[in-house]
Amino acid sequence: MKNETGLVTEIPSWLYENYGISCIDCKMIVPGINLILSILTDERKTYFIKIFHSERSLSSVENEGNISNRLIIYSISAAEVLKNVKGTLASSISVSGHQRAVLVFENAKGRECTLCDEDLSLCADTLFKLHNLAPLGLNLPVFDADREYNKMCGVSDLFFSCTELKDHYREMIRVMKIQDFHSGFSICHGDPWRRNIFISNNNAAFIDFECCCVSSPCLDLGIMTWNLLARSTDNPGMSAKTSFFLNTYNSYSKQKFEFNELAPYMLVHEIWSIWFLLKYHLLTPQITLSAMRDSSAMFSMLKPYLKLYNEY
């Protein structure tokens, strides 16, 4: 396939060849680094095709599909990954001259998560179940704060079009270096936010296990809290929701987690949100301004809960 535009017209033949599924309609629903297409079969069933960025290997994508399918039996995963005609979960497709790994999913059951208290309570319950599962023989990477630091501090100054954003980013990187991160042996989703969570039959289940890893529950709790507060750091309603979510999780857990324990993981996710824009050259002048504003607000909110250099 020559380019992303050609995917929509060529997917039906690719899908039939690789999965034996007849497709009567195909739409691109998420363009970007990862591409997501929806397809409708002649039996009126909907499937989703996720085409991963070129850095993902077939083996890592196969593992992601395996994680998604293994967690279905625990009602933690919302969508089954289909096997192709070769009996594997991961397939490959050519996009702009590059082979990229692919997974084909069944339609996720349920509705997208909202931020209402009932949904947040269900999310807390499912995350607690995930964090307390046995390893299940899954091949999961271990979250390594030092590795994340090295990756994100390696961004070239040439990637920054704004000196103010560069200085802000470098300051957050410096502060990250001196934080304490809990060691842990829990299975973590790695990117829990409402668009990755579906509600069905009084249960919250996840999609997109690309960032699934072994870590402390603080990782998922911090990212979930970051997502609740992002762009609303001065909103009392969002602050109340973060407290409700964390208190609900703590009601299930023997170990009680506090905001100051989550703050270092929230800082990592904040840095990552800028790093991602830099890595993929997505910082237009307008996005740069909003990213600087939002990131500065988040960092200011986190500072009272972080170790800072002036404390040494």
Q: Which residue has the higher pLDDT, 4 or 60?
A: 60
CB 295 within 8 A of CB 164: no
Q: At what angle do helices 236-252 and 259-279 cross, to 10 degrees?
A: 120
The closest of 188, 186, 196, 199 to 121, measured between CA atoms, is 199
Q: How confident is the model at residue 139 (pLDDT cuts 50, 70, 90)?
A: confident
Q: What does pTM read for this prediction?
A: 0.94
Residue 48 has pLDDT above 60, yes or no: yes
Taking only the tens place, the pLDDT of each residue in 146-191 is 999 999 998 887 788 889 999 999 999 999 999 999 889 999 999 9
Averaged over 210-226, what is the pLDDT? 97
Q: How confident is the model at residue 219 (pLDDT cuts 50, 70, 90)?
A: very high
Pick among 3.30.450.20, 3.30.200.20, 3.20.10.10, 3.40.190.170: CATH of 4-107: 3.30.200.20
Domain range list for the chain: 4-107, 112-311
Q: How far is CA 95 from the centre of its chain?
A: 23
Averaged over 244-265, what is the pLDDT? 97
Taking only the tens place, the pLDDT of each residue in 227-241 is 999 867 667 668 899
CB 188 within 8 A of CB 219: yes
Averaged over 59-81, what is the pLDDT? 97
Q: How confident is the model at residue 309 (pLDDT cuts 50, 70, 90)?
A: confident
**pLDDT at residue 233, as a whole number:** 63
Q: In angstroms, rounded to a whole number, what is the distance separating the alpha carbons of residues 109 and 46?
A: 11
Q: Which helix (H) or strand (E) holds 161?
A: none
For CA atoms 159, 164, 168, 171, give the dihedral sign. Answer: positive
The fold of 112-311 is: Aminoglycoside 3'-phosphotransferase; Chain: A, domain 2 (3.90.1200)
Residue 216 has pLDDT above 90, yes or no: yes
Taking only the tens place, the pLDDT of each residue in 256-269 is 999 999 999 999 99
**pLDDT at residue 159, as a whole number:** 82
| Average pLDDT for the chain | 93
**pLDDT at residue 5, as a whole number:** 65
Q: Which ranges in 230-258 belong to alpha helices (H)?
A: 236-252
